[in-house]
C-alpha cells in the first residue's frame, strides 16, 4: 500500500492519540515517525506504532508527562522527561539546546528518563535548519556483543550529526553503532526477508541470516564500534546518572514501566567559532568537491550523508510511501494494540 506523507501522518497521529497521548504530543510523535518513513528509514517509522501504542496504553510511556528543563550553566541543562514519549522529549530538549547555542555558542542538554526517541536525524536537522550544527547520541537496550565478547552488553547506541550548507543541501549523518540498527532486523522480519550474515549472531554466537533467530547484534568495525558504543553510553547514560550498559531497560520487558533512557544533544553555533557565511560556503565547497571525485568501481558518484534519504523523500512525494500490508491494516483498524510486545524477550519473540 502506498500513502502520501500527509495520509501516513494522519493515520499515525490518530493511532497515537487514541492510545492516550495529547493531540500536541501525538502530532510530534507522528512528525518524527513520518519523517523516518519519508527518508526511507523504515526501521523507525510506522513499523513502531503498535509498540508505542501498547506502551502508552499500558502506562510505560507517561501520557501526561511533567517535563522540566533545568539550566545548570549558561550552556547546559537537564531535561527531565518523566518517562514521557522520547520523540516529544527529544524535540523539546533540542529546542532548549538550540536556544542556548544561539546565546552562548554551545548548548548541551541531557535528557533523563525518556522513552525511545526513534530516528535521531530528525532532532539534529531541527538545529541545522537554523544554521546550527548538532550532535545527538542516545542509549538503547543491551543487544550488542562487545568486541571479543559472547554476551550482549551495549545497545545499538546511535550517533547523529547535522550541518547546514550555503545552499539547499544539508549534511545529516545518522547511524547506529551496530552493523545494522535493530529496527532493520525488525523490518526484515516484517517483510519475511533474510538478513546478511554480517549483522547479527544467534544464541550460539554464530552469524545468522534468519531475522527471527537473532540473539545479539554486531558492532561496526570490531573494537572501534565497541569503543563508539561505550562513548555513547557514557555520554547519554553515565553522564546523566542513568542506568548504563547491560542495566539499560529492555524495550519489550515490561511495557507498564518507564524506560529511564538518556539522550544527549550538543548544539554548536558556528557564528561563535568562525564566520557563519564562510562556514556554510565551505560546507558547500566540501560537498561539491566530494561530487567531483571519480567514483570507485561499482559506484556512479560519491553520496554525502543524508543525500540518499532526501532523494528518496522527493521520490516518495511523487510515488507515495510504501507500507507493509500488515502495518497499513493495523493503522486503519480500530485496534489500539494486540498485546504483542509486553514481556517478550529483547528481540520481541
Ligand atoms: P544507515 O546505515 O541506513 O545509514 C547510516 C548513515 O550512512 C546515514 O547517515 C546515511 O546517510 C549514510 N549512508 C548510508 N548509505 C550511504 C551511501 N551509499 N553513501 C553515503 N552515505 C550513506 O543507518 P542505521 O545505522 O541503520 O540507522 C538507522 C536509524 O536508526 C537512524 O536514524 C538511527 O538514529 C536510528 N536508531 C535509533 C535508535 C534509538 O534507540 N533511538 C537506536 C539505533 C538506531
Question: Residue 197 and residue 208: Cα distance in Å, rounded?
Answer: 5
pLDDT of residue 167: 98
Domain range spanning residue 233? 2-276+307-332
Neighbouring C-beta atoms of residue 238, cutoff 10 Å: 15
pLDDT of residue 203: 87
Task: For residue 202, tell me if it sits in a domain.
Answer: yes
Distance 230 CA to ligand 1 centre (A): 18
Burial of 89 (0-12, 13-18, 19+ CB in 10 A): buried
Task: For residue 298, tell me if it sits in a domain.
Answer: no
Is the distance from CB of 14 to CB of 25 less than 8 angstroms? no
DSSP state of 295: P
pLDDT of residue 347: 64
SS3 for 184? helix
- Those residues whose C-beta lies under 8 Å from the C-beta of residue 165, and which sit 6 or more positions away, are 171, 280, 283, 284, 287
Distance 303 CA to ligand 1 centre (A): 14
Residue 182 alpha carbon, nearest atom of ligand 1: 43
Question: Residue 320 and residue 318: Cα distance in Å, rounded?
Answer: 6
Nearest CA to ligand 1 atom 22: 305
Task: For residue 311, tell me if it sits in a domain.
Answer: yes
Domain count, the chain: 1
Distances (CA, A) of 28 to 13, 133, 195, 244, 295: 8, 22, 31, 27, 39
Q: Using CA of residue 194, residue 208, residue 344, residue 176, what is the dihedral sign? A: negative
Residue 180 alpha carbon, nearest atom of ligand 1: 26
Task: For residue 302, tell me if it sits in a domain.
Answer: no
**Low-confidence stretches of the chain (pLDDT beneath 50):** 349
pLDDT of residue 174: 97
Task: For residue 328, tell me if it sits in a domain.
Answer: yes
**Cα 204 from chain centre:** 29
- CATH number for position 106: 3.30.1370.60
Task: For residue 301, tell me if it sits in a domain.
Answer: no
pLDDT of residue 205: 83
Question: Residue 12 and residue 16: Cα distance in Å, rounded?
Answer: 6
Question: What is the β-pairing status of strands 321-322 and 2-3?
Answer: antiparallel
The catalytic site residues sit at: 116
**pLDDT tens track for 161-171:** 999 999 999 99
- Those residues whose C-beta lies under 8 Å from the C-beta of residue 66, and which sit 6 or more positions away, are 80, 82
Neighbouring C-beta atoms of residue 148, cutoff 10 Å: 8
Task: For residue 282, tell me if it sits in a domain.
Answer: no
Q: Indicate the angle between helix axes 23-38 and 121-128, nearest 10 degrees.
A: 90
Task: For residue 344, tell me if it sits in a domain.
Answer: no
The closest alpha carbon to 122, from 74, 86, 68, 153, belongs to: 86
Question: Residue 202 and residue 189: Cα distance in Å, rounded?
Answer: 15
Residue 160 alpha carbon, nearest atom of ligand 1: 34
Distance 120 CA to ligand 1 centre (A): 9
Amino acid at each position: 500500500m502506498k500513502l502520501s506523507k500527509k495520509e501516513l501522518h494522519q493515520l499515525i497521529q490518530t493511532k497515537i492519540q487514541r492510545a492516550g497521548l495529547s493531540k500536541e504530543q501525538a502530532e510530534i510523535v507522528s512528525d518524527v515517525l513520518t519523517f523516518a518513513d519519508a527518508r526511507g528509514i523504515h526501521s523507525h517509522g510506522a513499523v513502531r506504532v503498535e509498540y508505542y501504542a501498547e506502551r502508552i496504553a499500558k502506562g510505560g510511556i507517561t501520557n501526561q508527562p511533567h517535563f522540566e528543563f533545568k539550566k545548570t550553566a549558561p550552556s547546559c541543562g537537564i531535561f527531565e522527561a518523566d518517562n514521557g514519549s522520547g520523540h516529544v522529549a527529544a524535540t523539546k530538549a533540542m529546542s532548549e539546546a538550540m536556544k542556548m547555542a544561539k546565546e552562548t555558542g554551545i548548548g548541551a542538554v541531557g535528557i533523563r528518563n525518556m522513552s525511545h526517541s526513534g530516528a535521531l536525524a530528525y532532532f539534529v536537522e531541527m538545529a541545522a535548519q537554523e544554521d546550527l550544527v548538532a550532535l545527538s547520541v542516545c542509549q538503547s537496550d543491551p543487544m550488542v556483543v562487545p568486541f571479543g565478547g559472547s554476551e550482549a552488553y551495549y545497545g545499538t547506541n546511535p550517533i547523529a550529526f547535522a550541518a547546514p550548507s550555503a545552499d539547499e543541501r544539508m549534511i545529516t549523518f545518522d547511524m547506529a553503532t551496530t552493523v545494522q540498527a535493530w529496527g532493520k532486523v525488525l523490518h526484515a522480519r516484517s517483510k519475511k526477508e533474510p538478513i546478511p550474515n554480517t549483522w547479527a549472531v544467534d544464541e550460539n554466537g554464530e552469524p545468522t541470516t534468519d531475522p527471527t533467530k537473532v540473539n545479539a547484534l554486531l558492532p561496526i568495525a570490531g573494537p572501534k564500534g565497541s569503543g563508539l558504543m561505550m562513548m555513547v553510553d557514557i555520554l547519554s547514560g553515565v553522564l546523566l546518572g542513568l542506568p548504563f550498559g547491560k542495566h539499560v531497560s529492555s524495550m519489550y520487558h515490561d511495557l507498564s514501566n518507564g524506560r529511564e533512557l538518556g539522550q544527549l544533544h550538543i548544539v554548536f553555533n558556528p557564528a561563535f567559532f568562525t564566520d557563519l557565511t564562510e562556514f556554510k560556503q565551505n560546507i558547500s565547497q566540501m560537498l561539491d568537491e566530494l561530487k567531483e571525485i571519480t567514483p570507485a568501481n561499482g559506484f556512479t558518484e560519491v553520496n554525502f550523508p543524508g543525500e540518499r534519504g532526501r532523494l528518496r523523500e522527493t521520490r516518495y512525494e511523487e510515488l507515495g510511501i510504501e507500507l507493509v500490508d500488515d502495518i497499513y491494516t493495523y493503522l486503519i483498524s480500530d485496534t489500539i494494540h494486540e498485546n504483542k510486545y509486553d514481556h517478550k524477550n529483547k528481540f520481541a519473540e
